[in-house]
Amino acid sequence: MALAARLWRFLPWARGIFPGPWLSRGAAGSRGLCRTWRLRGSEVMGNLGTFKRSLLFSALPYLGFEAYQVFSQAAVVHATAKVFRVEEILEQADYLYESGETEKLYQLLTQYKESEDAELLWRLARASRDTAQLSGTSEEEKKLLVYEALEYAKRALEKNESSFAAHKWYAICISDVGDYEGIKAKIANAYIIKEHFEKAIELNPKDATSIHLMGIWCYTFAEMPWYQRRIAKMLFAAPPSSTYEEALGYFHRAEQVDPNFYSKNLLLLGKTYLKLHNKKLAAFWLMKAKDYPAHTEEDKQIQTEAAQLLTGFTDKN
């Protein structure tokens, strides 16, 4: 009925033929003849075929428009439901990540490994990598997970090159894969890793983790052993290099953005000051790392390392 009523409104010729029982009055109070304007049967019956064809061809475009509206509305509803569904999954994933439920997080996200959503994919890359780092993961499983994580991160980046997190996790995963591909690949990948960390920082200057990771990149090449430097010079005209001062700058910058966000950043501040022979500041940051509340297995390991380095201070003094 609603469709019929709407058709009526959109068919002006129908309103002309079927004006209904309107009363037509004469002008200015003269002997107006009240009459009902009705359609004579011959006007319809005499041209029944023409009338049917006219009705059909006039209705078809409108029905097509109606169908388009219905399908468009259905598509919008479906897309909206899909967005809500993805957001719900991401909320669950973030809750499990914050709770340290690595295996449950991995199980949740692998159900959606065919997703085209960049936010979901980089989280899956992170979950795969974190699962690989678990002490109960075998070496064979670890290798599979590391390469799996890289694939998810790559797909996330392909889906959204403006995602700072996709750039960050792509760089992390490339670094992990380097452990299985030899020194030449590792050094070659260093340029790519640096590029993506810098891009992540550019996209989100307030992400302390990306800044911290850029600091690790600098620290790693600042302390590269002499034999690796020699190999690098043989393989590359301009091998990657950095200094402890550069590393220190990034670690401090990360701490300014988000104070005490990560126990490892505190530890590396202490270790970098040790490399620069500033024992007073090294002791300050190592103490902060030792006293950092241990929420994860990594935090406990960092507490132990910081305590050992501080003990080394005491023994030498």
Closest CA to 247 of 228, 269, 232: 269
Phi, psi of 297, deg, nearest 5? -65, -35
DSSP string, 65-109: HHHHHHHHHHHHHHHHHHHHHHHHHHHHHHHHHHTT-HHHHHHHH
pTM of the model: 0.70
Other beta carbons within 10 Å of 283: 17
Name the average pLDDT for the chain.
79
Matching residue, tokens 């500041």: 281
**pLDDT given for residue 85 in this prediction:** 84
Instruction: Mention the CATH class of domain 72-180.
Output: mainly alpha
**pLDDT given for residue 51 in this prediction:** 45
Map out the domains of the chain as residue ranges: 72-180, 182-243, 262-316
Using 70 as the pLDDT threshold, list the residues of the chain that sit under it. 1-84, 314-317
**pLDDT given for residue 312 in this prediction:** 81
